[in-house]
Amino acid sequence: MPDYRFSVETDLDRQALGAILARYRPFRVEVAFSNGFNTREFGDDVPYATPEPLAKLHYFGAALEIGPWTRMLDIGSHLGYYGHHFLRAGIGRYVGVEPDMRLFGGATFLQVLSSYPRERMRFAHLDFGAPGALEVLRAQGPFDAVLALASLNNIRSLTAALDNMAALAAPGAQLVLEYLALDTDEPRLTFHAGGYRGDTTLHWAFSQSFLDAYLGRHDIARDRVLLDWEKAEVIGAGMKKIMALYRKPA
């Protein structure tokens, strides 16, 4: 079975590493280090904690075409584990966008620990749909691969984020989008001002046809569905978890 854990090489003293990482707690996912330290030693009690943050690669890893030319944009990058994975796999450059200051700080520290220089791996602390986000990121792009995994529902200005994503995608780009979807064939969009099912950061839910139509205005088309999952007791009645691969024409 593939190893979907997140690990970082370092010869930093375990005690010193733990003391530095403590400022970025709580850890929602496990991070393992070659010196033997693992963030699960903190004992953080957080929802949906997982020792395998890279497990979504099970669905999209084989579908994404990458090489040394690949410039990757990760929207809602968390600690940047996909950056570490794909740089190790041979892509040229990775840029992660993370709006949470604590996670941004942790991701930046892990990048400093790693062997990847800022020319190949960097993070931007911003809301991807906020005014000015496009100009900040345009200098790093365009991007041949775009990841937005469980982040589109949380961006306050969804349509601005979709416009920015299309503008930053290079000709021929692949986009892997995972989102909470309304289970309907109609192009629908709903806003949850107070959040959804206890998640106060989740603002939007939309149907696949809405997303297809909106991205279609930018000539970005759905290539295939990688995951179509529903379980009412977990994500609510009338909802689905969708992951799909999109392409921009070359």
74 in the same domain as 17: no
Phi-psi region of 61 (alpha: psi -120 to 50; beta: other; left: phi over 0): alpha
Q: Is residue 92's pLDDT more than 80?
A: yes
145 in the same domain as 209: yes
- In three-state secondary structure terms, 33 is strand
The per-residue pLDDT of the chain, averaged, comes to 95
Q: What's the whole-number mean pLDDT along residues 84-109?
A: 97
Q: Is residue 121's pLDDT more than 90?
A: yes
69 in the same domain as 30: no
CB atoms within 10 A of CB 24: 20
91 in the same domain as 4: no
State the pLDDT at residue 14: 95
Residue 130 amino acid letter? A
Q: What's the whole-number mean pLDDT along residues 92-118?
A: 97
Q: Is residue 3's pLDDT more than 90?
A: no
State the pLDDT at residue 48: 73
Q: Containing domain of residue 242, as a range?
A: 56-247
* Band (228; pLDDT cuts 50, 70, 90): very high
219 in the same domain as 185: yes
State the pLDDT at residue 137: 97
Cis peptide before 142 (omega within 30 of 0): yes
Provide the domain count of the chain.
2
223 in the same domain as 158: yes
Which residues are 177's β-sheet partners?
A: 148, 244
Residue 213 amino acid letter? A
Q: Is residue 57's pLDDT more than 80?
A: yes
Q: What's the whole-number mean pLDDT along residues 104-133?
A: 96
In angstroms, the first-to-last Cα distance of the chain is: 35
* Band (1; pLDDT cuts 50, 70, 90): low
Tens of pLDDT, residues 130-182: 999 999 999 999 999 999 999 999 999 999 999 999 999 999 999 999 999 99
67 in the same domain as 41: no
155 in the same domain as 48: no
196 in the same domain as 118: yes
* Band (110; pLDDT cuts 50, 70, 90): very high
Residue 99 amino acid letter? P
Cα(82)–Cα(61) distance, integer angstroms: 10
Cα(144)–Cα(129) distance, integer angstroms: 20
103 in the same domain as 222: yes
139 in the same domain as 124: yes
107 in the same domain as 23: no
State the pLDDT at residue 197: 87
Q: Pick the range with the lowest mean pLDDT from 44-53, 151-160, 184-193.
A: 44-53
CATH code of 141's domain: 3.40.50.150
Phi, psi of 105 (to 5 degrees): -65, -45
Pairing of strands 204-207, 121-124: unpaired
Q: What's the whole-number mean pLDDT along residues 45-55?
A: 87
Phi, psi of 121 (to 5 degrees): -140, 120
The closest alpha carbon to 3, from 66, 70, 84, belongs to 84
Cβ atoms 243, 60 nearer than 8 A: yes
